[in-house]
Amino acid sequence: MFDNLQDKLDRTFKTLRGEAALNEWHIDNALKEIRVALLEADVHFKVVKDFTNRVREQAVGQEVLTAFSPAQQVTKIVRDELQSLLGGNEVGLALVGSPAVIMMVGLQGSGKTTTSGKLALHLKSRGRRPLLVPCDVYRPAAIEQLRIVAKNVGVPFMEIGESRDPVAIATRALSEAKTLLFPAGRLAARASRGTGREA
């Protein structure tokens, strides 16, 4: 998704680079491309609208800095705005405890299951060992969906059997995750050493 966005932005900036001076027409054309690129990258249309408005305002109203070409200036504005759109600074995922627990909460259909799969894949690629656990016990299809997602991203999935008690499921998930992280031998060794820090 981001590769596609990058390609599109690169192409837009390349077109601008050929211009000695940028007028509103150039900027609007570039923004049209950027708008499509962001929408295709799944950015909400209101966010896209605000974003392109902010870029346009700055690009049109800016003073001409002779050290930079007009295209470079527009590129910088877009870059700065994109960075602030994404929150300004990079903030890592706060994973606390071992096992670290992430609970997905959200309205129906807001993307909890899909995001769980993406997160699991991301964390797996960073060397963590995620376990996906369904605590939505009211819809059998939700459990099945998470099972399929887990299989697709290649991470373990905890079967909940007949249990319909989310607290009991979550409690068991913690101990299952511990067993996954610290198989029997290692768990016993840790207990006898009585060490504090966990992986």
* Residue ranges binding ligand GTP (CB under 6 A): 42, 106, 108-114, 136, 142
- Which residue is nearest to Mg ion, using beta carbons? 113
Report residue 159 as tokens: 């079967």
Among the candidate windows 35-43, 58-66, 142-150, 167-175, which touches Mg ion by CB under 5 A? 142-150
In terms of C-beta density within 10 A (0-12 exposed, 13-18 middle, 19 or more buried), how is residue 86 classed? exposed
Report d(CA 6, CA 1) in Å as an integer.
9
Nearer to ligand GTP, 142 or 181 (CB): 142
What is the nearest approach in angstroms of ligand GTP to the Cβ of residue 182?
30
The SS3 of residue 63 is coil
Give yes or no for residue 142 binding Mg ion (CB under 5 A): yes
What is the nearest approach in angstroms of ligand GTP to the Cβ of residue 26?
31
The b-or-e profile of 96-128 (16+ CB within 10 A means b, else e) is eeebeeeebeeeeeeebbeebbebbbebeeeeb
Nearer to Mg ion, 52 or 113 (CB): 113
Angle (nearest 5°) at CA 9 between 6 and 13: 135
Task: By CB under 5 A, name the one of 9, 70, 113, 117 that touches Mg ion.
Answer: 113
The count of residues interacting with Mg ion (CB under 5 A) is 3
Which parts of this chain interact with Mg ion (CB under 5 A)? 112-113, 142
